[in-house]
Structure 1
Amino acid sequence: MDMEGYVRQRLDSYNENDLKDLLSQRIREYKNISQDKSLLMAESVIDEVKTTLNLKNADDSFLKEITEVPKADIAMGEMGVGSRGAGDFFVHRKIAEIVSSTNTSSLVNPSEQDDGGVVKANSPNDELYITTAVDGIHSRLSEYPFLGGFHVTRATLRDICVMGADPVSILSDVHLADDGDVGKIFDFTAGVAAVSELVDVPIVAGSTLRVGGDMVLGDRFVSAVGSVGVSNYPPTARKGATDGDIILLTEGSGGGTITTTALYNGFFDVIWDTLNVNFVQASHALFEADLIKDIHAITDVTNGGLRGDAHEISNTTGVGLEFYEEKIRKMVAPNVLNMLEKLDIDPLGVSTDSLMLIVPPEIVDDVKNAVSSAGVDISEIGVVNTSGEPILIKEDGSSDKLVPLFREAAYTKIKKLVGETTPEDFEIMKEKVQKASDNAICKKEKVINHIRGN
């Protein structure tokens, strides 16, 4: 529970003494303390919030401006942010616009909507490309820190691998709410360390904080894991896809999303399918075979499933992608596919954590042999053409355009209640989000000019 947010929402509509009593009751739901102490805590929270509100009356108009949020009046859940669908992709493009407005240079940045970013280092002897990536723990794995740590570490290492880089280090950032058991931190770190040891990539740095400090009650656990990779070759970004290329896919058994699906729908045995490092092993095999430099593009089937990835690749590059449904289904681990079918979840709309490679025809066999040598199944699932659209050839011979849903395929009961359909006012929502993004860029420019003395 966010006490600060709780007070801010009610301060104008509640008598202060009533609000203090109400908040103190909520505090005692989480903390075993006396009524007197809970009232003192509530009073302190209210006082702190009221003090910050005085900023609105400050004489410094510029300070007031930069401390006010450029609101979109659209909530995260309304827009589907984090749900890996059309709304989420739109917001990420707005984030990319803010990043691009800095006019700093990199080979791959958020504007490409790739998994990791790449810069070229000044190396006296040869070319050196540095890739960085960061991923957050799956929100529904807060109660299962080891699994959360394991899968978020795999995720960030995948993001390094798909850019054609070799992972060299891991960083961990942990946030546990005030009432959380310290053991959660250790459990999460053990999950991160398990992947670290399995793939021989060291954990080199990190940070440990409380969620919201003293202001947030409960034991919610959130975290992120980052990684760094290096390569002597240019990145295998999505924009490298070329007409005539063959699309290959490794078998996917899922990560955080599939684990969450299994946990909250009672398919507990499927969790074991997800506990592997096949993705990194397959990528390492491509390094060992010196094939990375010849591969045109690599991505992982995560954000919104293959539907989302296909749409983003086509949207970014302008090429067309033709996929074969029957071949794709064979590349989903049998236990995982069985679970998805029983739960009526679209396998093309969720993260299966497959490795998708877009390669020129002449190296298809070499790539397949290298990946297979690492014990990972791989198959041809499609081709790149000039149609400009991602198309799915269905098992009955008909075809459909692959379009991401507003949210990724619903894989828990509450997600099914929230739904996947696009809101009727989506275009209006986008306009509001665009305005908030523009305002954020404007604020950034004003602050930079102020600091530079302009």
Structure 2
Amino acid sequence: MDIEGFVRRTLKDEDEKTVQKNLINKILEYKDIDNEKAKEMAAAVIDEVKCTLKIDSYPDESMKELIKYPESHVAMGEIGVGSRGAGDFFVHRKIAEIVSSTKSSAYISPSAQDDGGVVKSEVDSKEVYITTAVDGIHSRLSEYPFLGGFHVARATLRDVCVMGADPIAMLSDLHLADDGDVGKLFDFTAGVCAVSELVDVPLVAGSTLRVGGDMVLGDRLVSAVGAVGISQYPPTARKRAESGDVVLLTEGSGGGTITTTAIYHGMFDVVWETMDINFIKSSEAIFKAGLLPEVHAMTDVTNGGLRGDAHEITKTTGLGLTFYEDKIRGMVNPKVLDMLEKLDIDPLGVSVDSLMIIAPEDVASNVKKAISNVGVKISEIGFVDDTGVSKLIKEDGEEELKPLFREAAYTKIKKIVGDIEPEDFDIMKDKVQNATLEAIKKKDKIVKIISER
């Protein structure tokens, strides 16, 4: 419960006494305190918010611009941010636009929409590629901190591995709301450290704060884990894919998404299927076999499933991808696939956490051998062409492989929200684009002011 947000919204339409009364009741829902203490808290929050609203009549326009943000009038949920579909991809490209507007540069920047970012440096006259990645805990795993920590640690390490880097360190950013049990912090950290111990990559730094400080009541856990990796070879980024390459896929058992699906449908036995480090074992097998310089690209099948990843690859490279549906299904853990089918969830539209490798045909055979030797299943599922579109070959024909507006609905609430593109999607995109340009304009102006001081 965001009490500051509640006050900001309700003060627009209701008198202060009514807002205070309603806020006291909400505080008492969460806090075991007396009515007088709740009244003091409510009065303090209202007073603070009223002070911030004085900016509207402040005479200094530049101060107003500094404090306020460019409003798009498009909500996160409306456009599907975080739901790994067309709306989410669009907003991420707008974020990349802001990053690209800076005078800083990277070897692989967010504009590539890749799994991790890369900068090139030099150590002892040798080129070194440094990869960084960060992933947030699955929002529905707040009540299951160990699983949240375990899967987000795996996710960020995967993002480093698929860029062809050897992970060397992790860091965590942990936020727990005001009423959360401190034990959640420890359970989450233990989950991260379980992965750390299994793959021998240390957790070296982090930050622990409350969600919204005193302004957010409840026990919601919000956190992220980042990773750093190094390589002496150029990254295996999506843009290196070439027409004629073959596409390989390792067996995927899922991570945070599949765990969430299992828990919230009461199919708890599937959770154990997700508890492995096969992805990292597969990446290490490629490194140790000396195949990394010959592999063109790698990615993890996460954001919006194979539909989403295929879309991003074709968008980045301009190339086409052709996949065989039966081969893909064969690379989904049988228990996971059975669950998805029982729940009518598209296996191609959710994160199954497989490693997808794009390489020339002769290199692909060696990759398959190296990964099979560490006990991980792998199969050829398709090829790269120059059509510029992604296709799925099925028993009854073929179809273009497109991302949905949101990833396949894997919880009951997601099925209610739906994955159909809203009629006003183009209008939303225009509004978001305008807010992006305003943010860039504001950034440029503030940088200029500070630089000229």
TM range (shorter): over 0.9
The question of 1:31 aligning with 2:40 is answered: no
Paired residues for 1:10-409 under 5 Å? 10-396=10-396, 398-409=397-408
Query: What code does the residue aligned with 2:206 have?
Result: G
Q: Counterparts of 2:202 and 2:401 in 1: how far apart (Å)?
A: 39
Deviation at 1:257, TM superposition (A): 0.3
Query: What code does the residue aligned with 1:417 have?
Result: I
Q: Counterparts of 2:98 and 2:105 in 1: how far apart (Å)?
A: 14
Q: Counterparts of 1:451 and 1:428 in 2: how far apart (Å)?
A: 35
Deviation at 1:58, TM superposition (A): 1.7
Deviation at 1:16, TM superposition (A): 1.1
Secondary structure, aligned partner of 1:167: strand
Deviation at 1:124, TM superposition (A): 2.2
Deviation at 1:36, TM superposition (A): 0.5
Q: Counterparts of 1:234 and 1:7 in 2: how far apart (Å)?
A: 51
Query: What code does the residue aligned with 1:428 have?
Result: I
Q: Deviations over 1:109-134 (max 9, x none)?
A: 11010010000012223221000000
Secondary structure, aligned partner of 1:122: strand
Aligned length: 453
Structure 1 length normalisation: TM-score? Answer: 0.99
Paired residues for 1:2-13 under 5 Å? 2-13=2-13
Secondary structure, aligned partner of 1:269: helix
Q: Counterparts of 2:9 and 2:303 in 1: how far apart (Å)?
A: 33
Deviation at 1:103, TM superposition (A): 2.6
Deviation at 1:395, TM superposition (A): 2.4
Secondary structure, aligned partner of 2:431: helix
Q: Counterparts of 2:68 and 2:369 in 1: how far apart (Å)?
A: 56
Deviation at 1:20, TM superposition (A): 1.0
Query: What code does the residue aligned with 2:406 have?
Result: R
Deviation at 1:12, TM superposition (A): 2.2
- Unmatched runs of 5 consecutive residues or more in structure 2: none
Q: Deviations over 1:312-366 (max 9, x none)?
A: 1011101110000000000000000000000000000000000000001111111
Secondary structure, aligned partner of 2:452: coil
Identity of aligned residues (%): 66
Secondary structure, aligned partner of 1:191: helix
Q: Counterparts of 1:127 and 1:190 in 2: how far apart (Å)?
A: 36
Deviation at 1:379, TM superposition (A): 0.3
Q: Deviations over 1:80-120 (max 9, x none)?
A: 00000000000000000000000311110110100100000
Q: Counterparts of 2:129 and 2:279 in 1: how far apart (Å)?
A: 21
Aligned to 1:417: 416
The question of 1:439 aligning with 2:438 is answered: yes
Aligned to 1:430: 429
Deviation at 1:255, TM superposition (A): 0.2
Runs of 4+ in 1 over 3 A off after TM superposition: none
Query: What code does the residue aligned with 2:141 have?
Result: L
The question of 1:452 aligning with 2:440 is answered: no
- Unmatched runs of 5 consecutive residues or more in structure 1: none
Q: Counterparts of 2:200 and 2:395 in 1: how far apart (Å)?
A: 41
Q: Counterparts of 2:5 and 2:119 in 1: how far apart (Å)?
A: 39
